[in-house]
Amino acid sequence: MLFDDVLGRYTFTIATPIREDGRVIGVLSMVHDAQAFYQWVTSIRVGRTDHTMLVASDGTLLFCPVFPIKSHTLHPALVATVVAGGRGWGTTSHDVHYPGAEAINGFAPVPISSTPGTNFGGKVWYIVTSQDPRETYGPIYTLLGWIIASGAAAIGLLLLLGLAAARRIVKPIQELQAGAQVIGSGNLNHR
């Protein structure tokens, strides 16, 4: 990615060889406006605080809608998770936007060429998502709160039902015991 002084913006070039009978006879090259490309990449969102970044395999942020281009990099621990291979999700406390909090980051490579080492000057680009952990984990904490409250209510209800059932069982036994004492004291006409 280079800054084009004529256009006054960052651009990147995508090129592909033109082949004839297995030999290269030319190159088709297109210069793309980085901002327009990144606008498309970052239009995909999950939630309010999620945003999508474009990251090189060396950890350099090529585009981030939160901070200016190339003003920060990903932590080496997060880069290691992202470049480990393939696409997926990882948890880290090294999210560049939410340091110290355990964040979930989604990532996927941006493959352009099937020849290893030929993408973007030998680097691989990755799309990485970042979201505020409070928003990510918010539904889980809400669900846990409901489960705890429902569990406490269920335990309370079972306790009340158990007490009511115990009274219904114990009361007749106590009456029978009192009657047995009356009869045992000599009152044989007691019912």
Convert the pLDDT of each residue in 71-118 to its tens digit: 677 778 888 888 887 788 877 777 767 777 787 888 888 876 656 555
Please name every residue paired with 108 in a beta bridge, in sequence order, or none if there are none. Answer: 127
Handedness of CA 136, 137, 140, 145 (dihedral sign): negative
What span, in angstroms and rounded, lies between the C-alpha atoms of 137 and 1? 35
Does the pLDDT value for residue 18 go beyond 90? no
Reading across the β-sheet that carries 51-56, which strands appear in turn?
A: 61-63, 51-56, 125-130, 103-110, 88-92
Query: Higher-confidence residue: 43 or 76?
Result: 76
Does the pLDDT value for residue 40 go beyond 80? no
**Under 8 Å between Cβ of 89 and 106:** yes
What local confidence, expressed as pLDDT, does residue 71 receive?
A: 67
What local confidence, expressed as pLDDT, does residue 64 receive?
A: 76
Q: Identify the band that residue 44 occupies on the pLDDT scale cut at 50, 70 and 90.
A: low
What local confidence, expressed as pLDDT, does residue 116 receive?
A: 57
Does the pLDDT value for residue 65 go beyond 60? yes
What local confidence, expressed as pLDDT, does residue 89 receive?
A: 83
Question: Model confidence over 118-173: pLDDT tens digits?
Answer: 566 677 888 888 878 888 888 889 999 999 999 999 999 999 999 999 989 998 88
